[in-house]
Amino acid sequence: MKKIETCLSPQLLHLYEIKGKNVLIVDIFRATTSMIAALANNVISITPFKNLEECEAMKPHGYVIAGEREGKKVANFDLGNSPLSYLNNAFSNKKIAITTTNGTLAIEMVKENANNIIIGAFINLNATIKYLKSQKEDLLILCAGWKGKFNLEDSLYAGAVAYLLKNAYTTECDGTLALKSLYEANKNNMAGFLANASHTKRLQNQNIEADIDFCLTFDIYELIGLFKNGVIQGQIL
């Protein structure tokens, strides 16, 4: 049976084999949630960039540029990292260029060797589960974390995926077993459990409770997000 592993931080990625595996990128607060929200609201594509300069250079080419560092919008960028920016088809038929502290870096790290790269978010969890059930390859869940540290919201998402795939994939990965148990223990009170988390507090200090609530909402959208040939696009199953 196909296998799941979970890498809890990009800084541990060298311990995992990537070649030939599907990789699910998770940065719940807020990069990967923003990407799914954007795709579901009819942006054409999202191009992730590692650094600010490369991202900003896309502006003259007609891209909407989204940039976040330390949880905040970068000056002179059109958008920060709020998924709510994309609602109501606000950027319908636009191309987005995006750079974020953790999430876009995680994509960068696996793009050479992964089989398929999937963008993970609670807002389209069941669509992603359906897709992953259809896949034959082993799965590596890569939690973007916060500056290399373990992060609670990405871990809960990884645990939810492991829990929902338990009959379709097998695992001997301690990280996956732990997060599956963590999700099972907290799935009915995720917001309460996350209220003490470091990243939640950082975001609350910026008055973006609405972003947090949105990022923790299950299954608003039915499309999945796939990174291929340098861009992320939506796919309806």
Our finding on whether 89 is near a copy of itself (CB under 8 A) is no
As a residue count, the chain comes to 237
Residue nearer to a copy of itself on the CB measure, 20 or 148: 148
Residue nearer to a copy of itself on the CB measure, 16 or 69: 16
For the segment 8-47, give every residue that binds a copy of itself (CB under 8 A). Answer: 8-9, 11-12, 15
Closest distance of CB 186 from a copy of itself, Å: 6
Closest distance of CB 29 from a copy of itself, Å: 11
Residue nearer to a copy of itself on the CB measure, 127 or 173: 173
Residue nearer to a copy of itself on the CB measure, 107 or 162: 162
Number of residues that bind a copy of itself (CB under 8 A): 31
For the segment 132-191, give every residue that binds a copy of itself (CB under 8 A). Answer: 146-152, 155, 171-175, 177-178, 181-182, 184-186
Residue nearer to a copy of itself on the CB measure, 115 or 170: 170
Our finding on whether 199 is near a copy of itself (CB under 8 A) is yes
Residue 229 falls in which region: left (phi positive, over 0), alpha (psi -120 to 50) or beta: left
Which of 196, 205, 207, 229 touches a copy of itself by CB under 8 A? 196
Question: Which residues contribute to the site for a copy of itself (CB under 8 A)?
Answer: 8-9, 11-12, 15, 146-152, 155, 171-175, 177-178, 181-182, 184-186, 193, 196-199, 201
